[in-house]
């Protein structure tokens, strides 16, 4: 193989001259992180709410949450992204769609669509995990809370959710990791996140190995940090005398 390795490519300036190729990588990394964190906050909030609703006694509320999950988890992520970015702005009433297309900076349009898409997609998965966490608690816990005079919301707040969230930290860690990896799909609508910057670097320099090795390492780096933080959280919230706690 007559491939010319050239690791110094990262320190060379890009054609426009304002930064180096390494600078492109860093800006892609930054976009990936910002996008994923925003989407994660949204997914966690919505997913927790829906997960709670799936377990409430009211049939209508739990049915609504079940429908929500089925919609967002049964449509491929890529299709959802195209719907949010290309289709939805055409359907929005009161000129909102036109405002979205004409008044917003294209970069902001891409970012918002990507964030909403990843947020809803991941929230359906978070929802199922929160539901599983709540359902895995002994039924008597809810009764014990109610018997003490707590209202149902208070029972969730003080009794069920603190334990349910502790139980689902490991699967939520996987979801948190997934959202970073899934964010690579957003390069398809032109968002210059990490994967897109990698491909752009290949287009400009014809150095695919260096580029994708760097991209791979940066994704691994993000996930190692996330895993470390989540493990720390898991240890910190461990309940003494319960589930491997001391």
Provide the token pair at 200.
């752009």
The smaller minimum CB distance to other proteins, of residues 93 and 240, is found at 240
18 near 186, Cβ under 8 Å? Answer: no
The smaller minimum CB distance to other proteins, of residues 190 and 245, is found at 245
The smaller minimum CB distance to other proteins, of residues 91 and 243, is found at 243
User: Which of 130, 135, 121, 134 has its CA nearest to residue 183?
Assistant: 121
User: Which of 177, 204, 181, 205 has its CA nearest to residue 193?
Assistant: 181
The smaller minimum CB distance to other proteins, of residues 93 and 241, is found at 241
The smaller minimum CB distance to other proteins, of residues 164 and 214, is found at 164
* Triad 25, 13, 9: Cα angle to 5°: 65
Burial class (CB in 10 A: 0-12, 13-18, 19+), 171: middle
Per-residue HEC secondary structure of 16-78 comes to CCCCEHHHHHHHHHHHHHHHHHHHHHHHHHHHHHHHHHHHCCCHHHHHHHHHHHHHHHHCCHH
Q: Where do contacts with other proteins occur on this chain (CB under 8 A)?
A: 138, 140-141, 143-151, 154, 158-159, 162-163, 166, 239-242, 245
CB of 158 to other proteins, least distance (A): 6
CB of 152 to other proteins, least distance (A): 9
CB of 45 to other proteins, least distance (A): 21
The smaller minimum CB distance to other proteins, of residues 104 and 137, is found at 137
CB of 229 to other proteins, least distance (A): 21
Burial per residue of 115-153, b for 16 or more beta-carbon CB atoms within 10 angstroms, e otherwise: bbbbbbbbbbbbbbbbbbbbeebeeeebeebeeeebeee
CB of 129 to other proteins, least distance (A): 18
CB of 148 to other proteins, least distance (A): 4
């Amino acid at each position: 193989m007559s491939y010319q390795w050239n690791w110094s490519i990262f320190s060379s300036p890009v054609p426009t001259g304002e930064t180096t190729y390494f600078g492109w990588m860093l800006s892609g990394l930054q976009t990936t992180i910002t996008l994923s964190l925003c989407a994660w906050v949204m997914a966690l909030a919505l997913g927790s709410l829906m997960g709670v609703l799936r377990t409430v006694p009211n049939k209508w509320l739990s049915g609504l949450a079940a429908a929500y999950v089925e919609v967002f988890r049964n449509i491929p992520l890529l299709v959802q992204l195209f719907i949010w970015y290309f289709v939805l702005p055409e359907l929005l009433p009161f000129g909102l769609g036109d405002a979205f297309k004409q008044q917003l900076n294209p970069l902001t349009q891409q970012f918002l669509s990507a964030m909403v898409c990843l947020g809803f997609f991941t929230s359906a998965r978070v929802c199922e995990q929160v539901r599983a966490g709540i359902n895995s608690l002994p039924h008597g816990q809810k009764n014990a809370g109610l018997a003490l005079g707590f209202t149902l919301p208070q029972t969730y707040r003080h009794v069920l959710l603190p334990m349910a969230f502790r139980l689902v930290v490991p699967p939520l860690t996987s979801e948190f990791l997934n959202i970073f990896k899934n964010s690579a799909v957003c390069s398809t609508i032109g968002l210059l996140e990490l994967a897109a910057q990698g491909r752009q670097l290949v287009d400009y320099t014809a150095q695919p190995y260096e580029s994708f090795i760097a991209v791979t390492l940066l994704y691994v780096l993000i996930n190692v940090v996330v895993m470390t933080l989540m493990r720390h959280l898991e240890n910190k919230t461990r309940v003494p005398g319960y589930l491997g706690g001391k």
